[in-house]
Structure formats: C-alpha cells, structure tokens
Structure 1
Amino acid sequence: MPDDQLMEALEEDARAQAGRILEEAREAAAASLQKAREEAEREREERLFELTGRLKQERAARLNAARTKASGLKLGVRLELVGRALDEAVKRLTSLPEQEYSRLLNGFYDELLSAWEKGLHGEAPVVYVNPADIGRLSAEGNVLPDEKVKAGVVFTSGDGRVRFENTVEARLERGRKKMVPALNEMLFNEVM
C-alpha cells in the first residue's frame, strides 16, 4: 500500500475517531445538562416545598396572633360593658326613693352588726357612712361621716385594724364572679 493511501486511511480513521469522540462528548454534555436540569428542578421543588411550609407556618402564626388579639379586644369590650352594667346597678340602687334607700341602708347596717358581733365579741364598732346618709341610718354608737363610703355602711375596730364593709359596691364586687358570666350570657349568649 502506498504511503498516500496509508495516510488517507489514517486520516479517515482519525476523522472517524474524532467524530465518535465528538458524538460521545455531545452525548455526555447532553446527559450532564439533563442531570443538571433534573437536579435544579429537584432543588427548586425542595426550596418551594420548604418556602411553602414556612409561609404556612408564618400564616398560621399571624392568624393565631390576630385571633388572640381579637379575642382580647372582644373580652375587653365585654368586660367594659359588664362593668357599665354593674355601675348602672350601683347608680340605680343609690337613686332609690328615700324610704326604700333608708330601708336598704339600715338592712346593710343590721347585717353588718350581726357579722361584727359574731366576729368581735364585745367591742363596739366605729361606724362610717356617707355624710348624706347619716340622717337615714338608725344606729346606736359612734357614727362618723366618710365621703369614701358610698351606698352602704363600714365598721372598723377602734384601732382601725379590723374593717367590715357592707356597701352596694362591695356586694357587687363579691357577686362579680357569679354575675360576670351571667351578664355575659345575657348580653352575648355565651359564657366567659
């Protein structure tokens, strides 16, 4: 075989090998590109899943915070309305007709005197009433005016260490634990 033919055969073989190498390189590049796309898609899906989860958690947290705040505001409004109802009760009791109010005041005095006698045998109480109520009270002993006493009677020991109170406000405060749920149910059809 002449040299020219040998050279031509070698060149032909080299071109064929180069073609195969190029084809293999293209296939490897396409496979690498496909693998990179799949990895990118998988990573995108993972990040999207993570982000979606975080967004759901954040949304739930914000929703819970908003619900908590709304419940707090709702409770505040309800307690304000219940407080107004109790204030109105005090106002109505203190604006009773003279005879009924005097009977109420003397009833408070008698109840408090009975409790005082059971608790502190023998010691006479110092009695405090609102200055406007002194003439309405039929009481024996030391009765003193006190602007702070509203619609009721307060007994103290001589040294001031023992204090018994029987006022409309004190009674309402003692009854508040029972009255608040009852008023809430009446006003809002649900119990707190």
Structure 2
Amino acid sequence: MAYDNLLKSVEESAEARERELLQKAEQQAEAIRAEARKRAEEIQQATIRDAERSVAIERNKQLYLAKGETKEKSLRGREKIFLSAFAEAERRLSGLRQDKQYPAIFERLARETVSAVGTNPFVLHVDKRDLDLCRTTLAAIGIRCEVIPDIECAGGLVAASPDGLVTIANTVESRIERIREHKRLAIYKILSGG
C-alpha cells in the first residue's frame, strides 16, 4: 500500500505540476496575445496615421494643382478679354480718317511729335492718305520739313532723324500699343475684380 500511496502522491504531484504548468502556459499565452493585440493596435494606428498623412499630402497637391489650373484659366480668360478689347479699339479707330474730327486730331498728333523732336532736324513719315493733310497742317503751324508718304497706319505720323536712328512714332497703332502696355496692370486689376 505504501507503494500505491507513493504512486498516488506522485500522480497527484504530477497532476498539480501539470495544472500549474498549464496555468502558467495559459497566462503566458494570454500575455503574448495581449502584447500581440497591443502591437497590432499600434501598427494599425501607425498605418492609419500614415494613410491620413498621405491623403492630406495628396489632397494638398491636388488643391494646389487645381488652384494653379484655375488661376491659369483665369489669366488666359483675362488675356483674351484684354486682347479682344484692344482689337475692338483698333477696329473702331481704323476708320478714324473718315471722322470729321480727324484733321484736328492729326494736328494735335503733329504738334506733339514736333514738340518731342525739339529743335533737331527731322523727317516726317506719313501714310499716303494723310500726305495733303500733313502738308496743310505743317504749313498752318509753321513747320518746314521733309514729308515722306511711306508708312501705312490708321492715322498719325512718325518723326525720324535724317539718319533714321531716332524715331518718334505717334500713330494710332503706336498710341494703342503704349496704352496697352501702360494700362495692362490696371486693366487686369479691373478684370480681376480688384
């Protein structure tokens, strides 16, 4: 019987040890699962943060590109309006010679041009359609110079030094061009609503 008791005691001790090992193994497994859940949560949060950051970067990039595209379209639209306004002005001024005020306008252009030349010798270049008007105007304001009908323009004249190195253009087209460049910013500001 002592043997049976010993055997029973060894079995009980082994069973207790087995339960203890199983319990310890279960605790370790639970700790490992908890750590794995924690790590998985951290990885998931990091992945979400990375994804949110990537989405924010892509969104900002797309917004920047869209704003740039919108700005470019707006600029092209304003440029188109700007150019069409000046094309319309040129079209309207192309018939200036038929206006009854043209002789007075031509005289004012001639006076401005002669005043800009000063006392230096000069040659006037005009459209052949203005040759008689130019001679009449120069005679009326007391200016004597060579007049050459060798340009085509909507009206006005060009003064040049005899060697042609210095020219002062005072034609309808040159005035429109000066206004176009001088007023570009102001007109764009108006077109922008500013």
Bucket of the pairwise TM-score, normalised by the shorter protein: 0.7 to 0.9
Alignment pair present for 1:125 and 2:96 = no
- 1:106 aligns with 107
Query: What amino acid does structure 2 have at the position aligned with 1:51?
Result: A
SS in 1 for 2:163: coil
Q: CA deviation at 1:189?
A: 6.9
From 176, 189, 193, the counterpart of 1:190: 193
Unaligned ranges ≥5, structure 1:
none
Alignment pair present for 1:163 and 2:167 = yes
Q: CA deviation at 1:113?
A: 0.6
1:29-86 deviations in whole A, cap 9, x for unaligned? Answer: 1221121111111221122112212211221121122112211211221122122112
Following the alignment from structure 1 to structure 2, what is the Cα–Cα distance between the partners of residues 160 and 181?
Answer: 34
Residue identity over aligned pairs, in percent, reads 28
- The answer (yes or no) to whether the contact 2:153–2:173 under 8 Å persists in 1 is no
Name the count of aligned residue pairs: 185
Structure with more contact order per residue of length (Cα contacts < 8 Å, sep ≥ 6): 2
TM-score (norm 2): 0.82
Which contiguous aligned blocks of 4+ residues in structure 1 show a shift greater than 6 angstroms? none
SS in 1 for 2:157: strand
Q: CA deviation at 1:13?
A: 0.8
- Alpha-carbon RMSD across the aligned residues, in angstroms, is 2.3
- 2:141 aligns with none
- 1:181 aligns with 186
The 5 A counterparts of 1:62-141 are: 62-96=62-96, 97-117=98-118, 121=119, 123-138=120-135, 139=138, 140-141=144-145
Unaligned ranges ≥5, structure 2:
139-143
- The answer (yes or no) to whether the contact 2:109–2:156 under 8 Å persists in 1 is yes
- The answer (yes or no) to whether the contact 1:129–1:152 under 8 Å persists in 2 is yes
